[in-house]
A and B are shown apart, each in its own frame.
Chain A
């Protein structure tokens, strides 16, 4: 979330799209209801199903799963053509004024951007997706009047002109009138004193075009002047207690902690790497904060390798692994989830550790996951309960692939792990609040906390390398395992290391005679970190969370002097305890809040006051530093130069399995040109002739993922798998509620109880009648009650978004019959 849960209460308009917060984040949803009650805010819900968020909305529109980009493109077009954009904001804080490089083009007939190679069926030249750079200054050229036909705003207007209400209707299946009524409400926040927020979740990220979908939402919020404002922002409602923290701390193959890109094999020297992660400024006077990444990388290496990270060995640059290059020139190997399981199936992996993950159930394409696990030599699962993954070799699971336990050669360990109540440590919630939790009891029986499992395995491997030698033992030996109890590191000590401290005295950068941070003291702020090896910090983003003042994630001061739900002394909010990100945009060119009743920060003549400014605290407004300090251009990107693989603008592409050709370019590209299906026997895609129905998956309030099927209360509340079927479709097929039905895709089939409903209506898509159905996740083969047996991911496919590599669990094709 750019903002936070408590901040939602400040909104005038709430758009819940790609999420169902009333059911999936029920306690956070209270702030939507507060905004409605106290501010008369309008709640708009756009979703494939009429769900419980829709039930309390002011306006609900049903759309076909997988068509959100068309709807958002329509909203962008509506705002631009009805002059409902906050023009001063757009000019100041976005790249609307920037000129785009000559040669950039988009072909409306084919639906493809310049640089497409028809023979290779890919973009082989993305050089035109760029700004027009002045060769003398190396800065991007701008047109402050925003009238130049090559400026971002004008190109944008032309690009989105195709997204008319009639086109939105044809793609999404809603009426043009419904679309326009919705657009009128949402774009009403273009006024400086009106603010709208967007709440989304996995309904947006589970598509083969998910990153561009979020890009579209960001463009809309920027045009309306809603980013950086209390009550505004673009808010991802994350689905697990610490999925935010896991991402922050580098649990992804492509990032090290703090969202710094991982080292690549073709970066031969440390300088090559630092050049790659430290962009050059694209406009004069901008902060370009990422220029500081050298401090954070060196401090991270010092945290990892301690004394063994020296200036002479580039602080351990070669001790740390690098991402190998890929088969095609200029590419790198992909080890994201779906690729990892594909590589596993292809025999490229020997072992897998799974800490609290259940890929047979929660990954895409259950049967492919089972087949892939069967090709491992060994599997280690640390868990609270026996899961479908730990027991993938049993007859209970193997029948799905026609296998038998005797044929599965994988050696499997199921390690009993402590759960949340049995250990301490911090979770980072969706609002980026890092909050400490305390241990209540010991784990049951022989169960152990994960820190002990990790430490003991690592130390045993290290011991073996010390005894026997082996392949490149250097980093194994060099790792700084300094903890007081090496076999069971105290998480307080780890939290101190994540924040980091001064190893030797850190000198003031303006006055080198003055000590800024004493040796041994915890770092207090980002720029306390140094690139000379005098500091260590495991994750720069968490600097400030554990300072000389103590562990600030334990703070419990519930006062809110701001009156805006900021709670600045409750826990710690990364970055730098800032509650609203990009908050420089909440004030105008002179530093005065657009809306004095919702001032996040303001300029008081000498400094910025209010929330922690997302800006240099003493830089006066007239210096024009640029509100987006992380971007080398200093402004937010509407047009995104070169970053996304399928183009600089968000275009609607059809899901990989779609009932229609793309109505925007029926003769041209239908699905995302950069999304590529895997090639194993499991990766079949269905055609609408055989599989005419659109299907989507979702969660229920009463269950959490695949855990609560072990809890009797939750199982009583929602005992079994069901399929939500529109009344008209049920009548056509002669299906009645509570009868068993079979849902079949090109990957497999599942049986569940029919739940015939008015909540999903038939739609007309590109002139064709289309039905969609919905299926909850949550069930499996291990749990209490008699309900167990069906996993929704038996029918989903594993094609992923080519930027985020998130699978398309939503908007795929099936057929339906009585079972």
Chain B
């Protein structure tokens, strides 16, 4: 392998049922920054059936080039079809870096692709930088349940591959295809190329028989501007009612720590942290959460953090912009009342 043959930064742009996933836009914006350091091109690769129309959003997000692999067998994600098409493209065009969102799909696809290409893959990166000396990608990720941050390099093999969890990097503010908002700057132009992958039904060894969408009554905490989170200190499921009231007053949603999910008080979809969701709301209010690094890893990018805890020495208190030392069962209702009053005035 001659490393010099590998050029440009690629983003696997995940779409589901014709909708570009936000993590794809986050990664394109990140790739663009890395590409600027290297003087390289940013390419978004999108796989699907009839998805060419999604290319504009990727260009608006910062892609210089969009590769659209269009095939009816790509309509729904399957490991076999997506691995084959992505690997064939990489082998043919030789990108230096390939970024993949660490969604369920990305974490199924990424390792399969890396193994086929015989290259390294760093999972769930929270930081990506180009090393000024070597020009290699420095990939930083949490390890040991978030207790440690490790910076990893893939010096010899190409492409350098990383998965990044949704919400870790900021999404560019662009109009997504299908919406009327005209935020996409008309000046940005990118080359869109449609490729017809060689794919046969016999390539797919796993067949999807049924797709079940469970009705999500729980708001997506990844999208919320205000999150009120509860942990072990809440004591029981019923006590989350006071957090619901505070979240409602703010116009936000309720999140939780892993401890509360494990105790069965809250839903897994509400879990903030390394094994839950990474969030970056405007305001994050942590109630009765001690702040295991596992949890901090998922919320430390929040704009403004308020921690309410009896224990002044709890790790979350050091992370907070406002650390309220006190009984959350007294402080939270007072805060709800004050916020309601402030909003009404």
> Do A and B interact?
no
- The residues of A with any CB-CB pair to B shorter than 8 Å are none
- The residues of B with any CB-CB pair to A shorter than 8 Å are none
